[in-house]
């Protein structure tokens, strides 16, 4: 009897030590994702963040089980060509339809991460009906302006992955450091002319022509980027360019002040059909004042698509603003606004990242195989996945 008791105690101690080791590891992985090293709508990271190159074995065995498909619908087969009716995004039958999904970090930051398995995982395991591809125009490293042929090819590769999966895809001309969309207008016209010519007959594709026009990166610094003088004239030329090739697919237009001035745009919108306007928010930084601007725009008949939002403050760092996010979701659902969450695919340590890509708990091959276990998904990622799927989520205690 004593011998049996000794064996039981030994096993219990071993299990306790193992649990402690796993808890410490998980805590370490979580804290690695909350280091403030970059910002989204005010500055760009100075870190070059291509997909991880480590090939070491997982640090921790038995971290599964991995996720499995819960969505089998090919949404484009069901909903077809999108259209704008009033302020609603609608499907081909004219029924209001809400897209929910993820935005990649910059394609120049995520390397080869986005592949068929990852897109399949986002569509079937996470329930994404749309993926936004962020094409950085100006960066501290590689970008579209420096390597247009390279990134045109990469954009087309990623668009084709989404088309093959039967989901919608937003091609995002990711103005950030350039501030004024006019700075690279010639390059933008060339890019969207080629993209719209290639995908004119593909209902999966939406065009976002200017991510976040802003004064924070204006050149010269004293320049003020406004809707009337900068964004609208740019948008009119880009809309004309796209419509010469593609008369139907949705075009999404930014506005001044980091795409927050939708109320100003609503007083003098661009003429055309199937046009929408992006609204960007970070739940930890933007609240009722920005929702009031959105309400004004909607009341003025301006269709809105939230192509980028985050669970944190506008730097992508800090605590996850669960309550504030739920306030935004109430507003979004009330007005049938479609949305993409920022972001997936980067190893930059932002709290708003959805995956622990800088962690070595999985090999590169396992990361790129998709169907990730929950321990590889950040707190923000687990929260956002539940919002996309529309399932309950238990907010962790502080």
CB 90 within 8 A of CB 250: no
Q: Is 70 exceeded by the pLDDT of residue 113?
A: yes
Q: So what's the pLDDT on residue 60?
A: 56
State the pLDDT at residue 390.
97
Given a cut of 90, whether residue 267 has pLDDT beyond it is yes
Query: Does 212 qualify as catalytic in the annotation?
Result: yes
Give which of 99, 164, 96, 105 is closest to 136, Cα–Cα: 105
Q: Give CA–CA dist 19/163, Å, rounded.
A: 43
- Burial letters for 325-364: b for 16+ Cβ neighbours within 10 Å, e otherwise? beebeebbeebebbbbbbbbbbbbbbbbbbbbbbbbbbeb
**pLDDT-above-90 percentage for the chain:** 79
Within 8 A by CB and 6+ apart from 341, the residues are: 101, 102, 103, 308, 309, 310, 311, 354, 384, 387, 388
* Most confident region among 14-18, 104-108, 213-217 by mean pLDDT: 104-108
> CB of 178 within 8 A of CB of 146?
no
Instruction: Give catalytic status of residue 24 as yes or no.
Output: no
In the set 124, 138, 237, 308, the catalytic residue is 308
Per-residue model confidence (pLDDT) at position 152 = 98
Domains and CATH numbers, the chain: 56-389 (3.20.20.80)
Mean pLDDT along residues 112-123: 98
pLDDT at 90 over 90: yes
| pLDDT tens digits for range 296-354 | 999 999 999 999 999 999 988 889 999 999 999 999 999 999 999 999 999 987 899 99
- Share the mean pLDDT of the chain: 87
Q: Containing H/E element for 186?
A: helix 185-198
**Which of 124, 138, 208, 212 is labelled catalytic?**
212
**Residue 92 pLDDT more than 50?**
yes
Asked if the model's pLDDT at residue 219 lies above 80, the reply is no
| 30: pLDDT strictly greater than 70 | no
Question: If we measure between CA atoms, which residue out of 207, 262, 263 comes closest to residue 239?
Answer: 207
């Amino acid at each position: 009897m004593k011998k049996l008791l000794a064996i039981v105690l030994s096993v219990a101690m071993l299990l306790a030590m193992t649990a402690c080791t796993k808890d410490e590891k998980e805590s370490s992985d979580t804290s690695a994702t909350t280091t403030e090293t970059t910002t989204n709508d005010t500055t760009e990271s100075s870190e070059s963040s291509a997909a991880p190159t480590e090939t070491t074995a997982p640090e921790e065995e038995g971290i599964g089980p991995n996720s499995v498909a819960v969505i089998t619908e090919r949404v484009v087969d069901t909903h077809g060509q999108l259209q704008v009716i009033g302020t609603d995004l609608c499907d081909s039958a004219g029924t209001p339809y809400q897209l929910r999904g993820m935005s990649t970090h910059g394609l120049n930051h995520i390397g080869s991460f986005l592949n068929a398995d990852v897109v399949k995982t986002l569509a079937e395991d996470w329930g994404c009906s749309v993926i936004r591809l962020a094409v950085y125009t100006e960066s501290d490293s590689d970008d579209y302006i420096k390597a247009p042929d390279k990134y045109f090819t990469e954009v087309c590769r990623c668009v084709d992955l989404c088309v093959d999966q039967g989901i919608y895809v937003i091609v995002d001309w990711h103005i950030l450091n350039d501030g004024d969309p006019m700075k690279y207008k010639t390059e933008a016209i060339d890019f969207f002319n080629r993209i719209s010519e290639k995908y004119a007959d593909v209902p999966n594709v939406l065009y976002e022509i200017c991510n976040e026009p802003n004064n924070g990166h204006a050149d010269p610094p004293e320049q003020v980027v406004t809707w009337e003088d900068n964004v609208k004239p740019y948008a009119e030329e880009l809309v004309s360019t796209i419509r010469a090739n593609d008369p139907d697919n949705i075009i999404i237009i930014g506005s001044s002040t980091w795409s927050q001035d939708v109320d100003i745009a609503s007083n003098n919108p661009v003429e055309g059909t199937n046009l929408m306007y992006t609204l960007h928010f970070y739940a930890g930084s933007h609240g009722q004042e920005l929702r009031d601007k959105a309400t004004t725009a909607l009341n003025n008949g301006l269709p809105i698509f939230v192509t980028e939002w985050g669970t944190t403050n506008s730097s992508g760092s800090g605590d996850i603003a669960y309550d504030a996010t739920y306030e935004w979701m109430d507003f979004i659902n009330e007005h049938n606004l479609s949305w993409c969450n920022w972001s997936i695919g980067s190893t930059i340590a932002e709290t708003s990242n959805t995956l622990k890509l800088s962690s070595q708990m999985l090999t590169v091959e396992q990361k790129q195989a998709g169907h990730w276990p929950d321990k590889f998904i950040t707190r923000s990622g687990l929260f956002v996945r539940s919002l996309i799927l529309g399932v309950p989520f238990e907010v962790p205690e502080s």
